[in-house]
Amino acid sequence: MESKWGKPIMELEKKKGGDSLIQLPRFRGTRNRVSSRGVISVFDFGAKGDGIQNDTKAFKDAWKAACSLPSKSTIKVPAGRTFLVGPIDFGGPCQSKVTLKISGTIIAPQDPDAWDGLNQQKWLYFHNIGYLTVQGGGTINGMGQEWWSRSCKINRTNPCQHAPTAISFHRCKNLKVRNIMTINSQQMHIAFTYCHRVMASHLKVIAPVGSPNTDGIHISASTNIQVKDCVIGTGDDCISIVSNTSRVHVKSISCGPGHGISIGSLGKSRSCDNVYDVLVDGAFISNTENGLRIKTWQGGCGSARNITFQNVLMENVSNPIIIDQFYCDSRTPCQNQTLAVQVESVSFIGIEGTSATEEAIKFACSDNSPCHGIYLDDIQLLSYSGEPTRAFCWQAWGSSSGIVSPPPCFSCRESFIKQKVISTAIHRTISR
């Protein structure tokens, strides 16, 4: 007798010695899909991996199973296959540590209409997770081309609206993101918001130079963040650090094309933002619109302080070193305002290479809240075309040491000893 699946309900097989082996049908429940080591494959939950059929539910079910296990678990996204996944919520808290091992390729729906009725700011959204590792050598492709074509920055007749961040981590702790490539995000590629103790390493983030708002790594309202050994080239900031973030260490970064490594923007819409204890140590920045930048809107409050940029090589970079307290990314001109985010105790040490613009150093600071404690040491920025470079200062107070080219233009020379103490303190604070 056969079942409706066309297989015997019971099979008799002769064994040596004349005994028979009875094989009963197997029903694969959730427990059977999880190995003794807590390893789960998205294929166990119905994923097709053909890049055409929608695998969102399989990913949701695999996450639910892994997150509910009492011991550590691993979700496998196998290599050699492409998984079409729509907007998805990977929510915690989980019972134990979870690893998402992405070895294959995850792609987003090409049509923005797939987000109708959903949050258009998120695609792969991880939140409220205590211990999470995302790794595996695979690729996450946001398929952002249609989103870009609808952007008001590409076509000014279009209304300005949100587009999804490819990978969002919100309120996550003890987070590791490593050995992943993200390409062509709809908007930002990877964002950390309200996260604590994060290690992001060996990431490759790629999008065309003309893709709007496609920041590589965006850090907001987070603490104890390390970003190292990453290659980033997009249409916006390689790394952006904003609003109420502290203790950030960025090391060994290749950046370009894009808008460079930025603190800010801060203070938009009169917000009060604080960013402090940031160390950028070791970077190669090439063919970008900016190099090392701090940008704030007029009318805001808060501060950007205790920030060090050091050991950076630049090639054909516009605005290699820039502090801009008059930042305005608006369709209409921004009105002059007296309030400003305070910028103080900022060091640029060991910065060399070539500038694509005559103004290699620009400090445009607020009349009412001038920049204080800017320190330059061992700066050699030559023109990419062979022409001499120059520095511009407005309400910028600081000091310098060693060779500084172009020569500094501070309003006043502040204490060299004070600056060295500040720079050393940042190193100690971040390395704790």
**CATH value at residue 201:** 2.160.20.10
Domain-located, residue 402? yes
Q: Are residues 114 and 189 in the same domain?
A: yes
Domain-located, residue 7? no
Domain-located, residue 421? yes
Q: Are residues 219 and 276 in the same domain?
A: no
- Residue 420 belongs to what H/E stretch? helix 416-430
Q: Are residues 351 and 218 in the same domain?
A: no
Q: Are residues 166 and 105 in the same domain?
A: yes
| Domain end position, chosen among 236, 267, 288 | 236
Q: Are residues 310 and 195 in the same domain?
A: no
State residue 424's pLDDT score: 55
Domain-located, residue 311? yes
> In Å, what is the CA distance from 163 to each residue of 20, 66, 181?
63, 29, 20
Q: Are residues 139 and 190 in the same domain?
A: yes
Structural domain for 97, as ranges = 34-236
State residue 330's pLDDT score: 84
What is the tally of structural domains in the chain? 2
Domain-located, residue 11? no
Domain-located, residue 42? yes
Q: Exposed, middle or buried: residue 261 (CB in 10 Å: 0-12, 13-18, 19+)?
A: buried
For residue 122, give the 3-state DSSP assignment.
strand
| Domain end position, chosen among 214, 236, 258 | 236
- Residue 429 belongs to what H/E stretch? helix 416-430
- Residue 353 belongs to what H/E stretch? strand 342-355
Domain-located, residue 17? no
Q: Are residues 70 and 164 in the same domain?
A: yes
What type of residue sits at position 150? R
Q: Are residues 160 and 297 in the same domain?
A: no
Q: Are residues 174 and 322 in the same domain?
A: no
| Helices and strands: H and E segment counts in the chain | 3, 30
State residue 23's pLDDT score: 40
State residue 423's pLDDT score: 55
Domain-located, residue 25? no
State residue 431's pLDDT score: 57
Q: Are residues 171 and 53 in the same domain?
A: yes
Ranges assigned E (strand) in 44-127:
50-54, 73-77, 82-84, 88-91, 98-102, 105-107, 122-127
pLDDT in tens, the chain (432 residues): 443 333 333 333 333 344 443 343 333 444 456 765 899 999 999 999 999 999 999 999 999 999 999 999 999 999 999 999 999 999 999 999 999 999 999 999 999 999 999 999 999 999 999 999 999 999 999 999 999 999 999 988 888 889 999 999 999 999 999 999 999 999 999 999 999 999 999 999 999 999 999 999 999 999 999 999 999 999 999 999 999 999 999 999 999 999 999 999 999 999 999 999 999 999 999 999 999 999 999 999 999 999 999 999 999 999 999 999 999 988 788 989 989 999 999 999 999 999 999 999 999 999 999 999 999 999 999 998 888 899 999 999 999 999 999 999 997 555 444 455 455 555 665 656
Whether 202 is a known active-site residue: answer no
| Domain end position, chosen among 193, 212, 236 | 236
- Report how far apart the first and last C-alpha atoms of the chain are (Å, whole number): 70
Whether 259 contacts 290, CB under 8 Å = yes
State residue 331's pLDDT score: 78
State residue 18's pLDDT score: 44
For residue 44, give the 3-state DSSP assignment.
helix
Q: Are residues 178 and 261 in the same domain?
A: no
Residue 374 to residue 17: CA distance in whole angstroms: 89
Of these residues, 170, 189, 259, 372, which one is catalytic? Answer: 259
Q: Are residues 203 and 268 in the same domain?
A: no
